Structure 1
């Protein structure tokens, strides 16, 4: 493979621990609205939320629904599935977003690894997610923005990963050949497949489970020290 000249990083569940923040925020919501969630523990609520939220995001990524529908429907459907009534869905969703932002933190080892890689390569951020939420994350972790030559929130491009237009735009921003870009991300669908189609190299981050397939155009890693050994 060609030498690496630029490294893009995914944000959620790669640099930042989205799973932790999501679960903690749902726990806060359960505490704040105990009557609505009576009889349902955090594990059950979290599992139900995932089951509802994932297909909504997939439909949004494919252009079948808009972001407003995702925001309106995920807690409406959650409360309905729990038999809690949906009258307070909007209030619960607003509280969830407030608490979600209170629990953002780096994945273990990610902050130091990002800084070390940024000292040697051009780096950037390439992330899905609602623009306003991802901008808040970049503001809360200013070192990421300061070090990045390119910060791309896919919604602002007009498509979500793995759409080819997103990766084409990111390649232009990096100002290197596609094969000289390494993408560090956790999603097989959005990151591995998208980077393969773009001709990028891939570092697939799999901290929670063993990968179900290999990466022909790169490698997998589960600890940030493994990535550093590969690229530095």
Structure 2
């Protein structure tokens, strides 16, 4: 991987440990709602992952509204679990708990700081604008380093849509092949980045993308530092 002049980072499950925050928020919600608390926590987690994925796919396809996504996942969760609870109340409580548990991935900040001393950086993230902006506000050290902030809802399209990557490329001010994207999602980040002509550092324990020299797979942040020689 050569010729990198700009580095974009994904936010959730790349810099921030979204899965852990989600897990802990569901634990909190399980203790707050009596009917939900009667269901084994493991079943709550597995069912939530299933319905949440379905709802977000519908939102990405334009068949579900923002509010329908926010509360709809809990309507479907309660229906699947066969319990009664107020989905709007659950959504509010969940989001409050979720925000309480935002943390950076171990090792991410140190390497991020080293990267920003050598390269201009930005963030490219899916998600609702108010939530993603709140995360950035929680970690002003990150935000101060970004020269470009691209949030899907603010642009009207989600990764891996080519238009979102076109917007991000323009804001970076360099050519597509000169951008490295650090992200965790094969579909949204790796495929989206490659289709845009970017290079990609894939944060994962999964398989490599066979025969694709523009993808660097890593699970330890020090390996990314080695790639970028920082």
- Alignment-derived partner of residue 48 in structure 2: 49
Residue in 2 that maps onto 1:230: 227
Change (3 A) 1:112 1:37: same
Q: Are the counterparts in 2 of residues 202 and 215 from structure 1 also a CA contact under 8 Å? A: no
Is 2:4–2:180's contact at 8 Å kept on the other side of the alignment?
Answer: yes
The answer to whether residue 218 in structure 2 is matched with residue 221 in structure 1 is yes
Any residues of structure 2 matched to 1:149-228 within 5 Å, and which?
149-206=147-204, 209-211=205-207, 213-214=209-210, 216=212, 217-228=214-225
SS of match in other structure, 2:166: helix
Q: Which runs of 4+ in 1 moved over 3 A?
A: 212-215
Give distance in 2, aligned partners of 1:163 and 1:75.
27
Question: Which residues of structure 1 form unaligned runs of 5+?
Answer: none
Q: Compute the TM-score of the two structures, normalised by the length of structure 1.
A: 0.95
CA 212–48 in structure 1, closer or farther in 2 if over 3 Å, else same: farther
1:218 shift after superposition: 1.8
Please report the RMSD computed on the Cα atoms of aligned residues, expressed in angstroms. 1.2
CA distance in 2, matches of 1:138, 1:215: 35
Distance, in Å, in 2 between the alignment partners of 1:210 and 1:190 is 15
Structure 1 CA distance for aligned equivalents of residues 35 and 62 of structure 2: 36
Give distance in 2, aligned partners of 1:48 and 1:144: 33
Q: Per-residue displacement from partner, 1:48-89 (whole Å, max 9, x unpaired)?
A: 001001121112122222211111210011011111124x11
Q: Number of aligned residue pairs: give it.
A: 228
Structure 2: stretches of 5+ with no match in the other structure: none
TM-score normalised to structure 2 length: 0.96
Rounded to whole Å, the distance in 2 between the matches of 1:52 and 1:168 is 31
